[in-house]
Amino acid sequence: MKKTRIIQLCFLLFAVAFAGCKGKSGSEQAGGAFTPGELWPDNNGVHINAHGGGILHDGDTYYWFGEHKTEGTAGNNALVGVHCYSSKDLYNWKDEGVALSVVTDDSTHSIAKGCILERPKVIYNKKNNNYVMWFHLEPKGAGYSGALSGIAVSDKVAGPYKFLRAVRPNAGSWPTNVQDIHKQRVPESDRSKFTGGSLPAHPDSLNLLGRDMEGGQMARDMNLFVDDDGKAYHIYSSEENSTLHISLLTDDYTNYSATYARFFPGRFMEAPAMFKRDGKYYLIMSGCTGWAPNAGRSAVAPSIWGPWEELENPFVGEGSDLSFHSQSTYVLPAPGKSGQFIYMGDRWTPENAIDGRYIWLPIRFEGDQPIIEWQDKWSY
Ligand code: GAL
C-alpha cells in the first residue's frame, strides 16, 4: 500500500472513532435511554435548548419545540426565540435551528427581543396543510401583565414561522359555563384588589372573568390539544392564574372560536398538559409557585368540556411533593405503545436559564389515576 493511502486510511479510522465518541458525549441520553435531569446533548454534543416545550409527531419524525434560553437570569427572557429539534426515536435529537426568531430591529414589536415567550407548542393543520405555533407572550418590559397568546404559522414543520398576532382570548364572549355572578358589574375598588399569587388570595367573588370579558381573558401557562376529530383546543391558566380555561380553536387553528369554558376555579392550576386515553381526557398540571417546583396535580373527564374530576398528585415516592423538581410541559403518547404515555417536565434553573434540565418519565395508571415514579435511566 502506498504511504499516502495508509495516511488516508488512518485518517478515516480516526474520523469514524471520533464521530462515535461525539454521539455519546456528556450523557447517555443519545443512544437508547432517557436520563432525566442530566445534560441531554443534541447531534452536535450541545445540551438541548427547548424548555417549556412540546412535541409534534409528523410522519416518521418527532419535532421538539421549546424556549431557547440563554445564560444567566437574563436568559429567562426571549433573546433568541423558539428552538426546534428532530428525532426518529426520541433519544437522539438533531438541531433544526430556530423555528421562530424574536424581532431584533423593532423594540416595539410584539415579539421584540427581550419579550417573554413561553411554552411554545406546534400542531399540524390539515385544512391549510401548514403548521401552527401558539405560545404564551408577554410584551417586552411589562412583566407578566400582558397575559397574551402569540400565534405563528409555517408551511414547513421546522420553520421559519411567521408571527401572525398576539391576542387576549375570547374578547366579548362569555364561557359556556358562565354564572350569574360573573355578569355583575365589577366595582372599580375590587378590580385593583387582586395582584396575583396563589390560594387563598383569590375569592371567586372578585369576578376576574367579568373584569376581562370585554378586552379578552388572560392566558399564561398553556398547551394545545388536537382531538381525534381534528378539533383543536387551547388550554391556559386564566383569571390571574386562578382558573383554567379551555377554548376551542377555529378550523385553521389560528384563532379562538369564542366557545370556551372555565374549570378548577380558584385552584391556580399551571402548566397544563392534556392527553386522551381510552376515550377519557386527562390533565397533568402543577400548582402556582413560579419557577420553584410544587406538588403535581391531575384530573380526568369524560369530555373536554367536563365534568373535570381532580385526582391526586400523579408523582409518587421520594420527591413527589415537588414533582421530582419538575413542572409539566407536555404528555406524549409513547411510540408504538397504545395507551402508554411519557410525562415531559422542566427542571427550571432561573439563575442560569440555559442550564434547565428535562424530566421525562413514563406514566402508568391505577384505574384513572396517572402515576409517575422516578427513574434515573429508562427506555420505553
Ligand atoms: C411558572 C410558569 C413558567 C414561567 C414561570 C415564571 O409558574 O410555569 O412558564 O412563567 O412561572 O415565574
Q: Which residues lie closer than 8 Å to 104 by C-beta, 6 or more apart?
A: 112, 113
| Superfamily, domain 41-167 | Glycosyl hydrolase domain; family 43 (2.115.10.20)
pLDDT at 27 over 70: no
CA–centroid distance, 118 to ligand 1, in Å, is 8
Which atom of ligand 1 lies at the shortest distance from residue 271's CA? 8
For residue 329, pLDDT beyond 80 = yes
Mean pLDDT score across all residues of the chain:
90
Kindly give the distance from the C-alpha atom of residue 13 to the centroid of ligand 1, in angstroms, as a whole number: 48
Nearest atom of ligand 1 to the alpha carbon of 241: 7
Report the DSSP beta bridge partners of residue 234.
Answer: 224, 247
Pairing of strands 341-347, 148-154: unpaired
Quick count: other Cβ atoms within 10 Å of Cβ 256? 22
| pLDDT of 77 strictly over 70 | yes
Instruction: Report whether 137 contacts 102 (CB < 8 A).
Output: no
Element (H, E) at 15: helix 3-24
Furthest CA-CA distance within the chain: 92
Instruction: Specify the amino acid at residue 170.
Output: N
The rounded Å distance from CA 193 to ligand 1 centre is 22
Q: Which atom of ligand 1 is nearest to the CA of 119?
A: 9
pTM of the model: 0.91
Q: What is the pLDDT of residue 19?
A: 36
| Number of other CB atoms surrounding residue 346 within 10 Å | 25
Question: For residue 12, what are the contacts with CB-CB under 8 A and spacing of at least 6?
Answer: none
Separation between Cα atoms, residue 182 and residue 174, nearest integer Å: 9
Q: Which residues line ligand 1 (CB under 6 A)?
A: 52, 118-119, 221, 270-271, 290-291, 327
**Ligand 1 geometric centre to CA of 290 (Å):** 5
Q: Is the pLDDT of residue 318 over 80?
A: yes
The end-to-end CA distance of the chain, in Å, is 48
Q: Residues 357, 38: contact at Cβ < 8 Å?
A: yes
pLDDT above 90 for 206 = no
Q: Measured in angstroms, how far is the CA atom of residue 292 from the centroid of ligand 1?
A: 9
Q: Which atom from ligand 1 is nearest to the alpha carbon of 118?
A: 9
Cβ atoms < 10 Å from Cβ of 314: 26
Tell me how far the alpha carbon of residue 291 lies from the centroid of ligand 1, in angstroms: 5
User: What does the pLDDT read at residue 30?
Assistant: 58
Distances (CA, A) of 71 to 25, 42, 93, 350, 360: 21, 18, 21, 9, 23
Ligand 1: residue of 136, 149, 221 to mutate (most ligand atoms within 8 A of CB) is 221
Tell me what the mean pLDDT of segment 144-168 comes to: 97
Q: What is the CA radius of gyration of the chain?
A: 22
Q: How confident is the model at residue 190 (pLDDT cuts 50, 70, 90)?
A: low
**Dihedral angle over CA of 232, 238, 244, 248, nearest 10:** -20
